Structure formats: structure tokens, C-alpha cells
Amino acid sequence: MTVGERVAAGASPAVAIARRLVIFVVSVGVASVVVFAFMAVLPGDPAQVALGVNATPELVEQTRQEFGLDRPLVTQYLDWMGGLLTGDFGTSYVTKEAIGPQLLDRLGVTLWLVGAGMLVALLLAVPTGIVAAVRHRKPSGVIVSAASQVGVAVPAFLAAIILVQVFAVQLGWLPSGGWTPPAYDVGAWLSGLILPAVSLGLVQGAVLTRYVRSAVLDVQREDFLRTARAKGLRPYPALLRHGLRNAAVPVVTVLGLQLATLLVGAVVIERVFVLPGLGSMLLDAVAARDLLTVQSVVLVLVVGVLLVNFLVDVLYAVLDPRLRRS
């Protein structure tokens, strides 16, 4: 049951949100155990990977001890959790660097990417979805609708490869990859962000278009909108003034789900565009069997997804005044 439904069912908003918070915290705890257990059964010995071929078994054993891999799994888990609770992610035994600052750095890149991707998706989906709905019986509406169908079928990485070929390799307008921090050079940062954000946003935008369209179609059939039209308002102003807020509730639900998809999609897109985000951090760490780093990144991603779901729940109450009264 969402926060909105709880409030509607008579609970006070504070209690409902507190309930969701408890569920959120428990989910994070369970996720941490699952993530840790998964790392423990992953084949491949981190010490062996660090030492490479020709290492003697004694040396591998000694390195395992240095990495703390010889301790019981429960101790390793408790150590890790203990550190996390005090905000200490530990030091990677592969890179010999503190994981926390690394994570923050990488998270910044991924959040820019996901945020920009979402923006592209919204800029694409809201206008086209509305047009497709209002004109759903006319050829132009059908064409928009069909185009979005095609967009849904194109994977983000394929869109990325095509965009790079056209805009970076052939036309040379944009870099084919790489990342410049915005604090260093805003222009270079923006130009580096465009292709990844568009590749990520195009597909999500196409998916979202279909939801916006059906949400708007539903709203159009409502009595209050018919009344607005009867009052003499033209289709678009009527929709803008009376319909959009109502259409937004289901769209926000989908948006929340899509944010999770975007986070996962970002992993692949970061690889294609060589962006130093969480995704590339995760893949590099998996290859080097840097288990502590892998654990931390996966946990951050899981917490991110849970957090988005939590926020979407809270957002319902804001969007729908009927669910807001106390």
C-alpha cells in the first residue's frame, strides 16, 4: 500500500511515511546480506588476480591474509556493515584507495547522466505523448504513436553506437566519449554529456510517450474535461489547464520505475562512452575481483532504486490533493 493509499485510508501522513521508512531500512539491510552473500560465492580469488601468473601458493595465501579474506564470512560482513554505519566504506585492497570518496565521485557522474537522460526522456515524451493522444484518430497522431513503438524496440546501446557514428565520427560535432567535470569546463562537460544522455533518454522517452499518451487519453474522457471543452476551451488549453495534473499521477509511477531502468542502462552507456561513473566502476571492480568495491557499488545502486520508490510514494500525496488531506 502506498503512502497515498494509507493516508486515504485514514492513517496520518507522518505514520504512513514512517512505515515506509521502516520498510526502506529493512529492505536495505536484506539487500546488504544478499549482495555480500553473492560476492562470497563469486568464483575467482582476488589475491590470485592481484598477484598474477607465476605467484607461489604461499604468496597467494599471505596476500589473502593481508586482504582479510581468510577471516570467517560473518566477521567480514559485520566489519563491512560496521564501517558503513559510520560512513566508512573501507579501503579497496586492489586500488589501495578509500572507497567512499571514489564512490561519491563516480556517483556524481552517474547522477548527471541519469538526470540528463531523464530530462531528455521528459522533453521527448510529454509533448509527443500529448500530441499523440489529442490527435489519436488522425494520421499525425498515429505516426507519432508508431514512431514511439520503434523507439521502444531500440536498445540504448544501439542508439549510442549509431549516435557516435553520426555525430562524433562522421560529423565531428561532439566527442565520442570521455568526461570533463562541470567545475573544470562547462562547455566540454555539456558536449560530453549530450550523446550519452540522448542515447539513454531516447529509449526511455519512447516508452514514456506511450504512457503519457494513454494517461492523456484517459483524462480526455473525463467529465471535467468534457465540461471544459463545452465551456469553449480548445483541446490543448483545456488539457493544459485541467487535465495535466490528473494525467501526471500514473506517469509519475512509470517515471519512478524508469529511473531504476535508467540507473541500470547507465551502466552500459557509461561503458560505450567511457564515462567514469558507477557502472564502469562496478565493471572494473568485478574484473579485478575487488569485492569490497563491488559490494559497495551494488549496495549504492540498490539503495538508489529503493529510495526512488520511496520518493515516488511520497510524491503521490503531493500530486493528488484528495490523498493529501489529513
Asked if 320 interacts with other proteins (CB under 8 A), we say no
Neighbours of 124 (CB within 10 A): 21
Q: How far is the CB of 33 from other proteins (least distance, A)?
A: 23
Strand-pairing partners, residue 98, are 91
Asked if 128 interacts with other proteins (CB under 8 A), we say yes
Query: Which CB sits closer to other proteins, 288 or 308?
Result: 288
Q: How far is the CB of 80 from other proteins (least distance, A)?
A: 20
The one among 2, 32, 63, 76 contacting other proteins by CB under 8 A: 63
Query: Which CB sits closer to other proteins, 6 or 210?
Result: 210
Task: Round to whole Å and give the CA distance between 264 and 261.
Answer: 5
The one among 3, 7, 94, 294 contacting other proteins by CB under 8 A: 94
Task: Round to whole Å and give the CA distance between 263 and 276.
Answer: 14
**253 exposure class (CB count in 10 Å sphere: 0-12, 13-18, 19+):** middle
Task: Round to whole Å and give the CA distance between 8 and 20.
Answer: 15
Asked if 274 interacts with other proteins (CB under 8 A), we say yes
Window 150-189: residues binding other proteins (CB under 8 A)? 161, 164-165, 167-169, 172-181, 184-185, 187-188
Task: Round to whole Å and give the CA distance between 176 and 161.
Answer: 9
- Phi and psi at residue 68, to the nearest 5°: 80, 20
Stretch that binds other proteins, among 75-83, 99-107, 255-263, 304-312 (CB under 8 A): 99-107
Asked if 232 interacts with other proteins (CB under 8 A), we say no
Asked if 259 interacts with other proteins (CB under 8 A), we say no
The one among 194, 217, 249, 257 contacting other proteins by CB under 8 A: 194
Q: How far is the CB of 24 from other proteins (least distance, A)?
A: 29
Task: Round to whole Å and give the CA distance between 246 and 239.
Answer: 10
Asked if 216 interacts with other proteins (CB under 8 A), we say no
Stretch that binds other proteins, among 6-14, 20-28, 74-82, 131-139 (CB under 8 A): 131-139
Q: Are 297 and 244 in contact (CB under 8 A)?
A: no
The one among 55, 84, 107, 303 contacting other proteins by CB under 8 A: 55
Asked if 190 interacts with other proteins (CB under 8 A), we say yes
For the chain, give percent helix, strand, coil, nearest 5: 80, 0, 20
| Exposure letters 170-187 (e unless 16+ CB within 10 A, then b) | eeeebbbbebbeeeeeee
Q: How far is the CB of 212 from other proteins (least distance, A)?
A: 12
Asked if 52 interacts with other proteins (CB under 8 A), we say yes
Stretch that binds other proteins, among 76-84, 259-267, 274-282, 317-325 (CB under 8 A): 274-282
Stretch that binds other proteins, among 18-26, 74-82, 191-199, 315-323 (CB under 8 A): 191-199
DSSP 88-118: ---B-TTT-SBHHHHHHHHHHHHHHHHHHHH
Query: Which CB sits closer to other proteins, 13 or 181?
Result: 181
Asked if 295 interacts with other proteins (CB under 8 A), we say no
* 143 contacts: CB under 8 Å, gap ≥ 6: none
Q: What is the distance, to the nearest Å, from the Cα of residue 46 to the centroid of all Cα atoms in its chain?
A: 29
